[in-house]
Amino acid sequence: MKVTNEKIEDSQVFLSIEMEPAEVEESLEESYHRLVKKTDIPGFRKGKAPRAILERYLGKESLLEDALSNLLPEACDKAIKEQKLEAIVQPHIEVAQTDPVIFKVIVPLRPTVKLGDYHHIQVTPEPVEVSEDDVSAIIERLRHQQAAWEPVERPVGFNDLAVLDIESSVEDKPFINQKGAQYQVLQNYSFPVPGFAEQLVGMKRDEEKEFRLQFPPDYPKSELVGKEAWFKVKVIEIKQEVLPELNDELAKEIDPKFKTLDSLREQILADLRLRAEEKTRIDFEERVVEAVVDVTQVEFPPVLVEVEVDRLLNQRLQRWQAGGSGLEEYLSRINKTEEEIREELRPLATKRTIWSLVLEEVTRVEKIKVSDSGIGTEIKNMTKDADEGKKDELEGFLNTPQARESIKQTLMTRKTIQRLVEIAQGSNMRSFSNPSP
């Protein structure tokens, strides 16, 4: 076996391995003895056919393929040891030629992370801002939820609630067919097809209308894109929204615990401020990590990104899955190939891979640890709101070695980010700016 180290690039070593004819012959002989014992060849007892007969029966290519499937992994392992390499995942093997047998091996190596001077990064938190307009917008939305709908004798207008009898089809196949359907006529509403709401505006009670609409390129159901839908609608009733007064009675209707409109506004303000502070905290932490990444040199094998792409794809599939639907059905539904989806996920996967490697190195350098008691406390926090009947079962699962290790990694990442936040803000840990009332 002759091993050539062709190059080192992106934390990968590229090897070329040429097998000696005697090594290939030895592997072919082993394959012959293995295959002849389980192959039925007319005119021969099982295991007794000569090798030449077996080769004619199965084909020389099949025998060689079997021989290489056993020879190459062994040769690859031997070559990696000879080169004193440490592969972090299974190397990629590809046969370059068969006469003589030469194959290429890509060996992914451990990533290298060279932290920059992250102790001098400075990131200023954005102020948390919650305005009266934000509070008013929430209250206005609550008013609409408490609104009444009163029948009117006039043509349909935007924001009205129309009661409709609907017949429709797409390429002579039924689409939406419903009597007494309630439909709020919202401008630029895309359901059931963009333009449907606009067709209703101006129609009177008991009026019928037929029209056709085309499904746009970005329609969620890809099988309908570009097709034309025929609709026949009849307006049964027209209702307009009547908003309640902005007073203490509205606050009580929303929730009896609020005795006045002012108390409702105060609670909304507090909730908005809490959410704004949480969002600002998360945004600030991301900016801090990004600042550390910017001063750090990271080199890693591309296979780590592909592993992260796999994880993101599985997460997306799990969120979508219903009744055991698989990847093929998901791809058919969104009208994309697996490679297109993987290409979309690759930038995010690359970013997450880099962040993970940088944070791991900071964790090591800062000597950040998580104790068993800390893991136990986190498990208690995770199960404190669980139903009593399921609490013991959940605690049992979270206390398995694999689950505890996962929780440990999460806590270490959290502590590492907090340490970087302290560095970015200075040792005095300046707090976020006071939110405006």
* Residue 389 binned pLDDT confidence (cut-offs 50, 70, 90): confident
| pLDDT tens per residue across span 322-331 | 545 677 777 7
Which residues are bridge partners to 229 per DSSP? 170, 213
| pLDDT tens column, 65-115 | 999 999 999 999 999 999 999 999 899 999 999 889 999 999 999 999 999
Q: Which CATH number fits domain 2-110: 3.30.360.10, 3.40.50.300, 3.30.70.1050, 3.50.50.60?
A: 3.30.70.1050
Q: Mean pLDDT across the stretch 385-403?
A: 87
CATH of domain 148-242: 3.10.50.40
Burial class (CB in 10 A: 0-12, 13-18, 19+), 373: exposed
Which architecture characterizes domain 301-425 according to CATH?
Orthogonal Bundle (1.10)
Q: With beta carbons less than 8 A apart as the criterion, state whether 128 and 435 touch.
A: yes
Give me the pLDDT at residue 366, please.
Answer: 95
Q: Answer whether residue 22 shows pLDDT above 50.
A: yes
Confidence band for 385, pLDDT divided at 50, 70 and 90: confident
> Using one digit for the tens of pLDDT, what is the confidence trace for 231-259?
999 999 999 999 999 999 999 999 999 99
Please say whether the beta carbons of 158 and 186 come within 8 A: yes
pLDDT tens-digit map of 328-349: 777 777 777 889 889 999 999 9
Domain parsing of the chain, residue ranges: 2-110, 148-242, 301-425
Average pLDDT for residues 178-195, to the nearest whole number? 95
Least confident of 219-223, 232-236, 396-400: 219-223
* Residue 295 near residue 423, CB atoms below 8 Å: no
pLDDT average, residue stretch 268-276: 95
**Mean per-residue pLDDT, 352-375:** 95
pLDDT at position 317 is 80
Task: Report, as an integer, the average pLDDT of 265-292.
Answer: 95
Cα dihedral sign, 394-400-406-407:
positive
Average pLDDT over residues 408-415: 95
